[in-house]
Amino acid sequence: MNRNPDVMIIGAGASGMIASVKAAERHKSVLLLDKNDTPGRKISASGNGRCNMMNSGALRYYGDQEFADHVLENSTADDIRHFFNQYGLMLASENEGRIYPSTFQSASVLSVLKNAMGINGVQLKSNTTVSSVSRQNDLFTVTDTNGRKWQSTKLIIACGSPAQPKLGGTDNGYELLSSLGHRIIPAVPSLVPLYTDRKSISGLSGIRVRGKVSLYDQDKLIHSEEGEILFTEYGISGICVMQCSRFIKDKSSYLSVNFLHGYYDKPEEFCHELKRRRNMYHEYSPVSLLDGVLVSRIAYAVMKQAGVPLKGEKAGELSDELLKAIAETAFHYRISIEGTRGFEYAQVAAGGADCREFDPKTMESTVMSGLYATGEVLNVDGDCGGFNLMFAFSSGLAAGKSV
Ligand SMILES: Cc1cc2nc3c(=O)[nH]c(=O)nc-3n(C[C@H](O)[C@H](O)[C@H](O)COP(=O)(O)OP(=O)(O)OC[C@H]3O[C@@H](n4cnc5c(N)ncnc54)[C@H](O)[C@@H]3O)c2cc1C
């Protein structure tokens, strides 16, 4: 009969792979199980194939944010860097603290992780979907969908989240942890584009502009972000929009876009400028007032939402009231949200296993000894910029060091 491995890990993604190497470096025999035919599918897809794997700036986590900060304090960005350097991966920095492999190819990160697993004798079983776990007399038994069973005294759940099922995203990790007595915070899609009302985005598909987006729920400001906004056929996207998505509750939410962010501080200031323009462009069409400030399709949309009659009028005929409305609308262009594009298009999930039931130094459960959880299966999600992979690597290192 085969000897049981010292450690079993369910999920050969970012956190599971790094945990497997770290445990195997300490001479533990490690069995890594994954439902996909190849490990690390999300690593391959990350950062548009470039893999934005870390960030050197201030930490930007949500959910159990303090827990995430503690994990990163104990297994630091330098530890992750050291790990990858040791196995031959060089890193490069870009703007906003974003760190990538120096090749700017996800494949390099994956190769190095797979090499490290091979060198340290990690046993990988692909095409293996775990359907249940149980524990008796300090021994975990893992069963897959074909009824095969494996046992060990240490078990790491590294199953990730339901984001992007086509890359292996499932909520299996929540089910497995819940069956072992853990609390799960219901997960919602995060870092995901938004469906919006058709009217406010009509004619804007394909436009990219910089601005500030603010998410409101029943007129209460929930979250603001600035950056590039992308208008699409179905709604709105761009990093700043996606970073608002985790806060969306229901259809009472709307986005307010400030197209003049960084150029004018207040609508009154811009209104003053519009009055100057009204004199200058007296004989021109109303939309000419926004020439040189907004791209023309956005200018039309702002005029429309502000209630400016666009046919037959001249700029010189617009009242002070209408100029005020144009300035207000350019600062607060309202877009109603119909919903997010769901887990199918989300980069991560907000929600997951309640981190109060885990130790941030070791990732061990405080509910059941010998059980660990790492990465996105936990109630931690980060902003774009490398924070999610960084948490996966950091928590994976922590678990691998302590199993
Ligand atoms: C398109 C895309 C782009 C992204 N880009 C970035 C980026 O540039 N920077 C960044 O920081 N983050 C990025 N992310 C997020 C990042 O990839 C994840 O946060 C990270 O991979 C999570 O690591 P993990 O180990 O927790 O889970 P995963 O990497 O998702 O691994 C989980 C593994 O568990 C396996 N699994 C699930 N259920 C079972 C089961 N029942 N039995 C066996 N195996 C199972 C899955 O097949 C998978 O291989 C991106 C995500 C996506 C989808």
Q: Are residues 15 and 109 in the same domain?
A: yes
Q: 165 with 349: CB under 8 angstroms?
A: no
Neighbours of 78 (CB within 10 A): 9
Length of the chain: 403
Instruction: Classify residue 323: in a domain, yes or no.
Output: yes
Q: Are residues 11 and 112 in the same domain?
A: yes
Instruction: Classify residue 361: in a domain, yes or no.
Output: yes
Q: Are residues 96 and 219 in the same domain?
A: no
The string of pLDDT tens digits covering residues 162-187 is: 999 999 999 999 999 999 999 999 99
Report the DSSP beta bridge partners of residue 325. Answer: none
- Residue with the smallest CA separation from ligand 1 atom 19 is 388
What pairing do the DSSP bridges indicate for beta strands 61-63 and 333-340?
A: unpaired
Residue 349's nearest CA partner among 54, 53, 106, 42 is 42
Q: How many angstroms is it from 160 CA to the middle of ligand 1?
A: 5
| Dist CA 155 CA 7 (whole Å) | 6
392 lines ligand 1 (CB under 6 A): yes
pLDDT in tens, the chain (403 residues): 468 999 999 999 999 999 999 999 999 999 999 999 999 999 999 999 999 999 999 999 999 999 999 999 999 999 999 999 999 999 999 999 999 999 999 999 999 999 999 999 999 999 999 999 999 999 999 999 999 999 999 999 999 999 999 999 999 999 999 999 999 999 999 999 999 999 999 999 999 999 999 999 988 999 999 999 999 999 999 999 999 999 998 777 899 999 999 999 999 999 999 999 999 999 999 999 999 999 999 999 999 999 998 887 899 999 999 999 999 999 999 999 999 999 999 999 999 999 999 999 999 999 999 999 999 999 999 999 999 999 999 999 999 999 9
Q: How many angstroms is it from 28 CA to the middle of ligand 1?
A: 24
Please identify, among 341, 362, 384, the residue that sits at the C-terminal boundary of a domain: 341
In ligand 1, the atom with minimum distance to the C-alpha of 43 is 17
Neighbours of 200 (CB within 10 A): 20
The predicted pLDDT at position 2 comes to 61
- Residue with the smallest CA separation from ligand 1 atom 9 is 386
Q: How many angstroms is it from 53 CA to the middle of ligand 1?
A: 12
- Residue with the smallest CA separation from ligand 1 atom 46 is 168
Q: Where do we find the tokens 């009028």?
A: 313
* Host H or E run for residue 140: strand 139-144
98 lines ligand 1 (CB under 6 A): no
**Which residues have C-beta within 8 Å of that of residue 366, sequence separation ≥ 6?**
357, 358, 359
Mutate to test the pocket of ligand 1, among 20, 388, 390 (most ligand atoms within 8 A of CB): 388
- Using only C-alpha atoms, the chain has a radius of gyration, in whole angstroms, of 25
- Of all residues in the chain, what percent are helix, strand and coil, respectively (each to 5)? 35, 25, 35
Q: Domain of 179?
A: 7-187+349-402
Q: Are residues 331 and 207 in the same domain?
A: yes
In ligand 1, the atom with minimum distance to the C-alpha of 41 is 49
Q: Are residues 375 and 274 in the same domain?
A: no
The predicted pLDDT at position 1 comes to 43
Dump the DSSP string for 333-369.
EEEEEEEE--TTT-SEEEEEE-GGGB-TTT-BBSSST
158 lines ligand 1 (CB under 6 A): yes
Q: How many angstroms is it from 63 CA to the middle of ligand 1?
A: 17
In ligand 1, the atom with minimum distance to the C-alpha of 15 is 25
Q: How many angstroms is it from 166 CA to the middle of ligand 1?
A: 11
Q: Are residues 27 and 129 in the same domain?
A: yes
In ligand 1, the atom with minimum distance to the C-alpha of 55 is 11
- Residue with the smallest CA separation from ligand 1 atom 41 is 130
352 lines ligand 1 (CB under 6 A): no
Q: Are residues 367 and 332 in the same domain?
A: no
Instruction: Classify residue 75: in a domain, yes or no.
Output: yes
Q: Are residues 270 and 357 in the same domain?
A: no
375 lines ligand 1 (CB under 6 A): yes
Q: Give 5-73 as a 3 state SS string.
A: CCEEEECCCHHHHHHHHHHHHCCCCEEEECCCCCCCHHHHHHHHHCCCCEECCCCCEEECHHHHHHHHH
7 lines ligand 1 (CB under 6 A): no
| Dist CA 150 CA 281 (whole Å) | 78
Residue 135 sits in a domain whose CATH number is 3.50.50.60
Residue 63's nearest CA partner among 187, 149, 179 is 187
Q: How many angstroms is it from 304 CA to the middle of ligand 1?
A: 43
- Residue with the smallest CA separation from ligand 1 atom 30 is 160
Residue 159's nearest CA partner among 142, 173, 148, 169 is 173
The string of pLDDT tens digits covering residues 28-39 is: 999 999 999 999
Q: Are residues 223 and 369 in the same domain?
A: no
- Residue with the smallest CA separation from ligand 1 atom 44 is 34
Instruction: Classify residue 35: in a domain, yes or no.
Output: yes
Instruction: Classify residue 2: in a domain, yes or no.
Output: no
What pairing do the DSSP bridges indicate for beta strands 371-373 and 154-157?
A: parallel
What pairing do the DSSP bridges indicate for beta strands 380-382 and 208-217?
A: unpaired
Q: Are residues 180 and 224 in the same domain?
A: no
Mutate to test the pocket of ligand 1, among 42, 343, 394 (most ligand atoms within 8 A of CB): 42
Q: 17 with 115: CB under 8 angstroms?
A: no
- What is the total count of domains within the chain? 2
Q: Are residues 200 and 229 in the same domain?
A: yes
| Dist CA 285 CA 298 (whole Å) | 15
Q: How many angstroms is it from 389 CA to the middle of ligand 1?
A: 8
The predicted pLDDT at position 223 comes to 96
**Which residues have C-beta within 8 Å of that of residue 131, sequence separation ≥ 6?**
143, 144, 145, 172
168 lines ligand 1 (CB under 6 A): yes
Q: Are residues 86 and 57 in the same domain?
A: yes
